[in-house]
Amino acid sequence: MPSGNLDDRFGTAAPAGAVPADTPTAAPDAAPKFVTRRELRAAEAAAAVAAVEAVAVEAAAVEAVAVALADVTPVVVSTAAVDTGALTLSLMDFSAGGIQISAASIQDAPRRRTGSRVGAARKLRRAEVRRIHAGATTPQASRRHPASVLATMAVVGGLFAVAGLPAYALTDTQSDGAKLSSASQSVTVSDQAATVAAVRDGYEATTAEEIAAATRDDVRAGNNAKYLASGARELGDDYPWPYELGEEQGGGLSVLNYYYRQCTDFVAWRINRDAGSYKAPYKWVWSNMTPTGGNASQWKYAWEKKGWPVTNTPTVGDVAWFGSINHVAYVKQVLDNGFIVIEEYNYGKKSVYNQRTILASSVEAFLGAPVG
């Protein structure tokens, strides 16, 4: 905001050596002494302020100028020369807040007595006078934020960069000699080429099913090796599928519709063997022998429902039924001392052939050969 002091706005100051008319002049030997240069400057600044404040206008004029200071419009009417002793200043007449003030009135305005006199008034330097005069007539330019300056520079640079890009899309870069015609792209195929058939090599990718089959073959080979080393053949085992995958190995159903290498599948094979059925289609399978259930614990019920013999006396070829443990075996031999020899699969050891000699009384029931 501009200063409200009239001397600041129009570059006037008390002339060097000037003393207000109503201010007594001190004796030359009463001039203050200054020890440091800083005190001297402070005294000079205070004297300059006191000299400027001495130039005042009537109270009403000063109050009107302060109220309308924001709307001050300097109007040069005339100038009056003020002799400062060493420098002549030009004062302007101006109008502010509807009050007309002339340079002459400022020059002849009564000087207010200051409360105290600090040193003798000094002359203003030329640079100080120019700064005071410039501050009264020229508005101070506001500084812009550095970020806004950088943004403006970036935008202007981008505009120049975009304007400098070559407009390739609007330029016909093909000359008459470089343009291709449709005739030059045509292809003629010989009649002999049409009769040539594509020849494929013998390579075929291995499918997931083939990989699974190969894995099963490896498991079968391992099962067969273990079976041959067990001596089951020498003991009399004639089960046709001892190498197949057991249920714990992910195996499935045999042609008899019981799980491979289970007790039920082995006994079903022996029943077919005794009936003279050695290959498919077999005489006795799950559907016509135990259609009510394939578990060993369900065989006695199937025998009773069909009216086949169920006794407590063992006979070679009978089915030894252990319903409480869900197991069946084949009676191989009946001994004189109340013992019997049975053959079985999947007892004690998973999915392998086994023989035992047990008391006949330990068997819950004996199922005779199916009739039909």
Answer for the pair 364, 321: CB distance below 8 angstroms, yes or no: yes
> In this structure, what token pair is assigned to residue 335?
């001994």
The predicted-structure confidence for 191-242, as pLDDT tens digits, reads as follows 666 566 777 767 678 888 888 888 899 999 999 999 999 999 999 999 999 9
180 has pLDDT over 70: no
Instruction: Tell me: pLDDT of 140 over 90.
Output: no
Domain of residue 101 covers 6-137
Domain end: 94, 114, 137, which one?
Answer: 137
Tokens standing for residue 193? 């080429």
Q: To 5 degrees, how large is the angle CA 335–CA 337–CA 341?
A: 35
The answer, yes or no, to whether the previous bond of 110 is cis (omega within 30 of 0) is: no
Assigned domain for 18 exists: yes
Residue 126 placed within a domain = yes
Residues with Cβ within 8 Å of 289's Cβ and at least 6 positions away in sequence, in order, are 268, 271, 302, 370
| Residue 335 confidence (pLDDT) | 97
- Domain identity same for 127 and 227: no
Report if residue 190 sits inside a domain: no
Tokens, residue 14: 């008390």
pLDDT by residue (tens digit) across 107-135? 444 454 444 444 445 667 788 777 776 66
Among the three residues 119, 137, 155, which one is the final residue of a domain in this structure?
137
Q: Which of 116, 137, 158 is the last residue of a domain?
A: 137
Distance CA 242, CA 356 (A): 19
pLDDT score of 330 more than 90: yes
φ/ψ of residue 329, rounded to 5: -145, 170
Nearest alpha carbon to residue 7 among 76, 45, 50, 53:
53
Total domains in the chain come to: 2
Give how far Cα 300 sits from Cα of 271, 315, 319, 364, Å. Answer: 15, 16, 10, 10
Find tokens 């975009």 and name the residue: 162
Residue 16 near residue 135, CB atoms below 8 Å: no
Residue 179's pLDDT is: 55
Tokens coding 207: 């499918």
SS3 state at 112: coil
- Give the angle 343-346-348 at the CA atoms, nearest 5°: 95
Q: Is residue 362 part of a domain?
A: yes
Are the C-beta atoms of 91 and 103 separated by less than 8 Å?
A: yes
**pLDDT score, position 152:** 85
Q: Do 217 and 340 fall within a single domain?
A: yes
The answer on 232 and 106 residing in a single domain is no
User: Percentage of the chain with pLDDT > 70?
Assistant: 58
Q: Give the residue among 57, 76, 82, 78 at the shortest CA–CA distance from 4.
A: 57
DSSP letter string, 278-316:
-SSSPS--HHHHSTT--SGGGHHHHHHHHT--EESS--T
Say yes or no: 115 and 214 in one domain. Answer: no
Is pLDDT above 90 for 137? no
- Which of 136-150, 162-176, 185-199, 358-372 has the weakest average pLDDT? 162-176
Q: Which of 105, 103, 13 is nearest to 51 (CA)?
A: 13
**Residues 346 and 239 reside in one and the same domain:** yes
Which one, of 352, 342, 288, 289, lies nearest residue 317 by Cα?
A: 342
**Is the domain of 227 the same as that of 85?**
no
159 part of a folded domain: no
> Would you state the pLDDT for residue 156?
83
- Tokens of residue 232, six digits: 């089951």
357 exposed, middle or buried (CB, 10 Å; 0-12, 13-18, 19+)? exposed
d(CA 135, CA 72): 13
Statement to judge: residues 237 and 363 lie in one domain: yes
Q: Is the pLDDT of residue 257 over 90?
A: yes
Q: What is the structure's pLDDT at 126?
A: 80
Contact of 106 with 12, CB cutoff 8 Å: yes
Confidence of residue 175 (pLDDT cuts 50, 70, 90): low
- Residue 352 and residue 248 share a domain: yes
Same domain, 119 and 240: no
Distance CA 114, CA 54 (A): 7
Please report the pLDDT score of residue 345 as a whole number.
96
Q: What is the mean pLDDT of the chain?
A: 74
Confidence of residue 313 (pLDDT cuts 50, 70, 90): very high
Cα four-point dihedral sign 265, 270, 275, 276:
positive
pLDDT tier, 84 (very low <50, low <70, confident <90, very high otherwise): very low
**Per-residue pLDDT tens for 28-74?**
445 566 567 777 778 888 877 776 666 554 545 555 545 554 454 44
Residue 312 belongs to a domain with what CATH number?
3.90.1720.10
Predicted pLDDT at 25: 47
Residue 344 belongs to what H/E stretch? Answer: strand 339-345
Please say if the pLDDT value at position 178 is more than 90.
no
Q: Is residue 13 one of the residues assigned to a domain?
A: yes
Q: Determine the pLDDT at residue 21.
A: 44
Percent of the chain with pLDDT over 90: 38
User: Do 105 and 232 lie in a common domain?
Assistant: no
User: One-letter amino acid identity for 22?
Assistant: D
Q: Are residues 215 and 359 in the same domain?
A: yes
- The verdict on 215 and 344 lying in the same domain is yes
- Residue at 84 is within a domain: yes
Q: Is pLDDT at 80 greater than 90 in this prediction?
A: no
Domain for residue 21, yes or no?
A: yes
pLDDT for the residue numbered 17: 47
